[in-house]
Amino acid sequence: MEFVIVTGMSGAGKSTTLKFLEDAGYFCVDNLPPALIGKFADVCFSPDSGLKKIALGVDVRSGMHFEILFSELAQLNSQGITMDIIFLESSNDILIKRFKETRRKHPLVEDGRIEDAILEERTLLEPVKSQAKIIIDTTNLLTRELRLELHKALNDEKSYKNLIITVLSFGFKYGIPSDSDLVFDVRFIPNPYYKSELRGFTGKDKVVQDYVMEWDVSTIFIEKLDDMLAFLIPNYIKEGKNQLVISIGCTGGKHRSVTLTDALARKLESYNYSVHCHHRDIEKDALRGK
């Protein structure tokens, strides 16, 4: 029997995760008091239960009872019942934004601020996060991308790595992405913008890709960046990092950075990492009439 516990930061995507698991054939129960986990497991593991896959949503909504989770998990382990813990993570800024957009109250907020509640929740959840088999950082993930990560984690768990890499193109004139971990400036590469026949295209078009990649500096840059990341990424994973944002910028974020971001993403995908590619500013010049 597969037994999964879904937990993590409030607003990080636990409800979406449980919906995905339900669609995947799991019997899902959300917000079960931790004190009842043992009794619930007894029912589920009884010979006539008919259940093969179970998922429980557990988090700080349980209040003071949340701490019982650890003793319940230890008790299940002593009975030979194994389980996988899926931990959903996200950055403070994104969590605050999600709570404000949905106008929902954080479960730990009484009269204080959301920021303080998030910090308190991180402290409470650190012990369970350290036991998690699968950690997914949803900071830069769309709903469909989260579903893809869950599918990878549950169906290819032996090779799944708790690191999601976002490769992001941007234009320096629109500002450096605030969530960047690594930033690379490719404005040293000849600019297709100054070729009138290429100006209206983007780095998603073959004519621009061919122009950008015909220069030796472009291919050498990708090769050197690939070599550096081959060293860095395993060390990031070893250190426990679960989200890496690599930003590549040119002047407008339309030609050079888009081409090289796609080229780097293809390189990283060949190593079986979870890679998501985004182009933040690719349409902005068009909106400005340029």
b/e map 146-159, b = 16+ CB within 10 Å: bbebbebbbeeeee
How far apart, in whole angstroms, are the C-alpha atoms of residue 124 and residue 7? 12
- For residue 91, list its beta bridge partners: none
SS3 for 92-156 is HHHHHHHHHHHCCCCCCCCCCCHHHHHHHHHHHHHHHHHCCCEEEECCCCCHHHHHHHHHHHHHC
- Which residues have CB under 8 Å from 104's CB, separation 6+? 11
How far apart, in whole angstroms, are the C-alpha atoms of residue 85 and residue 129? 8
Predicted structure pTM score: 0.71
- Residue written as token pair 């679960």: 242
Walk along the chain (290 residues) in steps of 10 and give the mean pLDDT of each run.
87 92 90 82 82 86 70 79 87 87 76 81 86 88 88 72 89 93 96 93 95 96 96 88 92 96 93 89 70
- Residue written as token pair 């050197």: 224
- Residue written as token pair 């890679």: 275
- Side chain identity, residue 196: S
- Side chain identity, residue 166: T
pLDDT of residue 60: 80
